[in-house]
Chain A
Amino acid sequence: AQKVTQAQTEISVVEKEDVTLDCVYETRDTTYYLFWYKQPPSGELVFLIRRNSFDEQNEISGRYSWNFQKSTSSFNFTITASQVVDSAVYFCALSEANTGNQFYFGTGTSLTVIP
């Protein structure tokens, strides 16, 4: 069973628009961690954020914000006022406490920001 689902395969927005990337996860663990990574064309996965299952506080970092809702098993990522440099593939990942920090990645959402 897919532990992390990113239903949006590709998204295109015009520069300065806001965009939300969806992530739905599945786990039976009570202790788990959620991550977002960015993969630019260079190929390297860049860490963006980590959230643990006991902290549902939303987080904002500059133009990035994350909305964690345990009730819907979602961990969505919003980019405000998108820029061309935001164009990349974004991956949501889940790590469960009882599986030694193995990351289960979603299939990714390819974001294109059009100037």
Chain B
Amino acid sequence: EAGVAQSPRYKIIEKRQSVAFWCNPISGHATLYWYQQILGQGPKLLIQFQNNGVVDDSQLPKDRFSAERLKGVDSTLKIQPAKLEDSAVYLCASSSSLGPFEAFFGQGTRLTVV
């Protein structure tokens, strides 16, 4: 079974530029998450989708971050414009349903904003 795929693995951009990350969850997984992991910290939820609907985006900085999950499969996370403090690893995860099921994580995208 293929795992959660994310691209790119690494990205370096200048502040005020825009960037987009892509995630392909495990086939059949209805729930998709985007997490931000700042160096030395645990992952923090940015947004959670159930199929193509948003379940929780309370911690998403909506003035600069946006995410979508068209057709309830792939998802993209965008930052526009980026700030230095956005430097982090962005992790995508999926689980089979909404509930206390284990989430499977991708390898993440390491973003450096200079």
Residues of A within 8 A of B (CB): 4, 33, 35, 37, 42-47, 50, 52, 91, 93, 95, 97, 99-103, 105-108
Contact = CB atoms under 8 A, between A and B. Distances in A.
Given A101-B95, A102-B56, A105-B44, A44 B106 contact: yes
Interface in B86-109: 89, 91, 93, 95, 98-108
A106 B42 CA distance: 6
A100 B106 contact: no
Interface of B: 3, 31, 33, 35, 40-45, 48, 55-56, 89, 91, 93, 95, 98-108, 110
A35 B105 CA distance: 14
Given A43-B107, A45-B105, A100 B43 contact: no
Contacts of A106: 42
Contacts, number: 62
Contacts of B35: 103
Given A33-B100, A100-B48, 14 more contacts: A44-B3, A44-B106, A44-B108, A46-B105, A52-B100, A97-B100, A101-B48, A101-B98, A101-B100, A103-B33, A105-B43, A106-B42, A108-B41, A108-B42
